[in-house]
Amino acid sequence: MLAEAKARHSRKIDALITLLGDDDRKVRFLARRHLHDLGEPAYNQLEKVVTRDVEGRIRIEASVMLEERRLDVLAQTLETLNRSEFDLEKASFILATIEYPSIDIENYIKQIDDLAQEARERIGGETDQRNRINLISDFLFHEKGFRGNANAYYDPQNSYLNRVLDRQLGIPISLSAIYLFVARRLDLPIDGVGLPGHFMLRCGDKSDVFYIDAFNGGNILSKQECSAFLNKMGYPFLDLYLAPVQPRDILARMIRNLALIYLQTDQEKKVDVLERIFSDFVTK
């Protein structure tokens, strides 16, 4: 009886998959909705369809459904992570699977481990905080060649940490994230700072606080220089702009940047997923 019920269920799924090739758009829509409601068994059969020699429209519809499912699972993963002990580094690489589903996250984390170890060797016995930061900046931006991608600022690759590590190219927030992860491994008191239009890092204690511009080669700025920088960009200066931001806020800003990029290229499903994740993070 159980085997017969499974066979009927499988035939129902096959029939719905066939309807994905129907000329009527409404029929295709209803077939997609029913397949989605049938859950994992339906998606398992859809995975087989994309490799079969079947009608082209069916393969395309099946591929679209599988991609939508993958992005939904990704959103659920990040939402679950947000409700637990949050790990910005891990979350940043999980976010990258939106575009790069097969990346080896552990390998990229090891790359950051290796960068931190090399930076530790460059620092040696230096104890002065500013000197330590200058040595890290020299290592990352001159020796390793990390730099801001001013020529293709809105390329989504700049926002994905795996590609930033691959190409040594990024935007302010992604370069700051790499810098932050390296510096934290070296026990430096460093935080993100969410200036409007430009992300930076904050380092130091009450007696000596300074700011690091990872997009511009790790330049060190004072509070007054940050104010002048914002004024030059057309923003008024407020002290709250220099307050440290929480790790969840950093990921939320990464998500917002990507959503805006994909909105411009009409990638609606990715925008929908990113907006869903963003709303989850900003309500925490």
CATH number of the domain encompassing residue 14 = 1.25.10.10
Per-residue pLDDT of the chain (284 residues; tens, 9 = 90+): 666 767 777 888 888 888 888 888 888 888 888 888 888 888 888 888 877 766 788 888 888 888 888 888 888 888 887 777 889 999 999 999 999 999 999 999 999 999 999 999 999 988 889 999 999 999 999 999 999 999 999 999 999 999 999 999 999 999 999 999 999 999 999 999 999 999 999 998 777 899 999 999 999 999 999 999 999 988 888 889 999 999 999 999 999 999 999 998 888 888 888 888 887 776 55
d(CA 46, CA 120) in angstroms, rounded, equals: 50
- For residues 148 and 269, state if they share a domain: yes
Cα 55 vs. chain centroid, distance in angstroms? 35
- For residues 154 and 246, state if they share a domain: yes
- Chosen domain end from 65, 82, 99: 82
- Chosen domain end from 21, 51, 82: 82
- Chosen domain end from 39, 61, 82: 82
Residue 94, domain extent? 88-282
- For residues 136 and 263, state if they share a domain: yes
- For residues 138 and 209, state if they share a domain: yes
Q: Is the dihedral of CA 91, 95, 101, 104 positive or negative?
A: negative
- For residues 72 and 131, state if they share a domain: no
- For residues 141 and 60, state if they share a domain: no
- For residues 96 and 70, state if they share a domain: no
pTM score, whole prediction: 0.84
- For residues 203 and 115, state if they share a domain: yes
Domain count, the chain: 2
- For residues 30 and 139, state if they share a domain: no
- For residues 249 and 269, state if they share a domain: yes
- For residues 275 and 220, state if they share a domain: yes
- For residues 92 and 125, state if they share a domain: yes
